[in-house]
Amino acid sequence: MQGTKITVGLDAFGSDNAPYPEVEGAIIALKEDICDRILLYGDSEILSRELSKYFYDKSKLEIVHCTERVLMDDAPAKILRQKKDSSLVRLITDCRDGKVQVAVSAGSTGAVMSTSLFIYGRLKNFLRPAIATLFPTIKGVELLLDVGANTECSADNLVQFAEAGSLYTEHFFKIDSPRIGLINIGEESSKGNELYKLTYQLLSKHPDLNFAGNVEGKDLLKGDVDVIVSDGFTGNIVLKTVEGAASSMFKILKEQFNQDWISKLGALLAYPAFAFLKKKVDHREYGGALLVGLNGLSVVAHGRSDAKAIKNAIKTAVRMVNSKFLEHAREYYESK
């Protein structure tokens, strides 16, 4: 299948509940034949004990012993200096050196970004790496970037995010000439602050991009564009607002359905539709965020990831390798 001959590196001590979701997610990924091999980075004693609970092809999984782990409160700038033998640092180093083709971690996004940036380096001519994530819309999924790496951006940064998002969507989803939208407070080119007005002008004249114009908050989930460009501050708020709104909606529905027997009967009849909706907005289905603009592949999963989310992060990572996004991005920016 498409995912064979790819070795994925997984930080087994990244998530909030590590290493249990990572181990189970890796086992599921191997059983579903998502990739050829997985290297698990972390304490070998703990991982061996956890792995002993499962039946799997032992030739497809290897533990890389690490004596340290990166914690959520570790300062990203100090990790490389103070925790050289951590699962995260060892993983990114091995990815740079070609021992694995892609790195997956559910650890601190800031830590994964800073470590990846230092070890991989940036793509030639790429100014600031960004975090690109998928989220659901009425018509499918959209790619949103940046969602937190850069709280302050220039127009040139936003244009590069649009370029990287276009390359991602073109090669990952096989969409010709992806539609690019710029998040803003109005559809007109005159809307927004000076940064977004200038960015609009630059995107409108860009020879390589299919710019569809501004996208307002109320239109984000319509799916009328393939890529939405934003500075990291705004993008992070958008992403967490969508996640929070979905979670709150289901809590409200659950409370209403438990009011009386008529409501419970209605809930039973509507269950298939609600189950579909819940799956559609479940962050676990979308496999983590790619760090774009780097000279290597790192995928960051949610800190609250369970085994399903880890498995899907591995799946996304494999698809990213197969899409040859990094090779296309290198070629594109080297020509700039």
pLDDT digits (tens, 9 = 90+) for 153-198: 999 999 999 999 999 999 999 999 999 999 999 888 888 899 999 9
3-state secondary structure the chain: CCCCCCEEEEECCCCCCCCHHHHHHHHHHHHCCCCCEEEEEECHHHHHHHHCCCCCCHHHEEEEECCECCCCCCCHHHHHHHCCCEHHHHHHHHHHCCCCCEEEECCCHHHHHHHHHHHHCECCCCCCCEEEEEEECCCCEEEEECCCCCCCCCHHHHHHHHHHHHHHHHHHCCCCCCEEEEECCCCCCCCCCHHHHHHHHHHHHCCCCEEEEEECHHHHHHCCCCEEECCHHHHHHHHHHHHHHHHHHHHHHHHHHCCCHHHHHHHHHHHHHHHHHHHHCCHHHHCCEEEECECCCEEECCCCCCHHHHHHHHHHHHHHHHHCHHHHHHHHHHCC
pTM to 2 decimal places: 0.87
Which is it for strands 179-183 and 227-229: parallel, antiparallel or unpaired? parallel
Q: According to the model, what pLDDT value does residue 81 have?
A: 85
Q: Which of 110, 117, 107 is nearest to 87 (CA)?
A: 107
The total number of residues written for the chain in this structure: 336
Residue whose pair of structure tokens reads 């509940």 in the numeric block: 17
- Cis omega (within 30 of 0) for bond into 57: no
Q: According to the model, what pLDDT value does residue 269 have?
A: 59
Q: According to the model, what pLDDT value does residue 187 have?
A: 86
| Whole-number CA gyration radius for the chain | 21
Q: According to the model, what pLDDT value does residue 251 have?
A: 73
pLDDT band at 2 (very low <50, low <70, confident <90, very high): very low
Full set of structural domains in the chain with CATH? 1-122+293-323 (3.40.718.10), 127-285 (3.40.718.10)
Residue 3 in this model has a pLDDT that exceeds 50: no
CB 185 within 8 A of CB 215: no
pLDDT band at 45 (very low <50, low <70, confident <90, very high): very high
Q: What is the pLDDT of residues 200-249, one digit of tens each?
A: 999 999 999 999 999 998 888 888 999 999 999 999 888 878 777 766 76
Backbone torsion region of residue 301, taken as left when φ is above 0, otherwise alpha when ψ lies between -120 and 50, otherwise beta:
beta
Residue 274 in this model has a pLDDT that exceeds 70: no
Alpha-carbon span 321 to 107, nearest angstrom:
21
